[in-house]
Amino acid sequence: MEIKTMIQSTPNPNALKFVLNVPVKNQGKVTYKNAGQCGHNPMAAALFTVPNITEVYFFDNYVTVTQDGNVDWDQIEEQIKKLILEYAADHDPDFLVEEDKKTALVVSDDPEIVKINAILDNTIRPGLQMDGGDLHVVSFDGINLTVSYQGACGSCPSSTMGTLKAIESILRDQYNPEITVVTEGSAQEHEHGTAY
């Protein structure tokens, strides 16, 4: 079978979604922030050779590539597409990473997080995944839920405020009217008193 890829825009102007007709990650998802994290994934490592790339995200049958905004997509799009197609035939969609093990622990340990993830799976995640991203529950202390965005959602201005408010609203309606939702970075800034 000939491997093909189709390029889709995302709500984040600095992220493009490269959809393949074969899977790139059969179970779970993974975000890479630099080439040093890609030891087990030659396709991801190759994508970081393209100038200005800041993040690569693998999920299901697509790769979301995020850049720093300092280059026009027209200059790097074909290079990215070519690398993905070049590595796709030898790519193993069953590769496992530390993130998979970590996620499994978070999900299986706390029944409340299981409930929250079920609500997110039915409401927020499908839209984020369609846009080339996702959401990961980092921690929950009974009232404060900390999440981190992945893929195209990671550096998208609308995900940081609009989506966060939508998540909080849905969880207040379907889970607990007192819950607050923050992103991983803002939670740390909050703890350290940094202005943002």
Q: What is the DSSP string of 113-161?
A: HHHHHHHHHHHTHHHHHHTTEEEEEEEE-SSEEEEEEEEGGGG-HHIII
The pLDDT tens digits of the residues spanning 62-92 come to 999 999 999 999 999 999 999 999 999 999 9
SS3 95: coil
Q: Where are the domains of the chain?
A: 5-88, 98-191
Task: Name the band, by pLDDT with cuts 50, 70 and 90, for residue 159.
Answer: low
| Cβ-contact 4, 51 below 8 angstroms | no
User: For residue 152, which of 14, 1, 2 has the smallest C-alpha distance?
Assistant: 14
> Is the entire prediction scored with pTM above 0.85?
no
Give CA–CA dist 127/66, Å, rounded. Answer: 18
Bridge partners for 182 per DSSP: 146
More confident site: 66 or 153: 66
Burial label for 49, CB within 10 Å (0-12, 13-18, 19+), is exposed
Rg, the chain, Cα only: 17
Residue 168 has pLDDT above 80, yes or no: yes
The pLDDT tens digits of the residues spanning 105-135 come to 455 578 999 999 999 989 888 888 888 888 8
Least confidently predicted of 5-19, 51-65, 177-191: 177-191
- pLDDT at position 189, please? 42
Phi and psi at 73, nearest 5°, equal: -55, -35
What number of other Cβ atoms are within 10 A of residue 56's Cβ? 28
What number of other Cβ atoms are within 10 A of residue 137's Cβ? 19
User: For residue 121, which of 170, 154, 63, 159 has the smallest C-alpha distance?
Assistant: 170
5-88 and 98-191: same fold? no
Give me 98's structure tokens: 């530390």
> What is the mean pLDDT of the segment spanning 48-75?
95
Mean pLDDT, all residues of the chain: 85
User: For residue 130, which of 151, 154, 146, 114 has the smallest C-alpha distance?
Assistant: 151
Domain 5-88 CATH class label: alpha beta
Domain 98-191 CATH class label: alpha beta
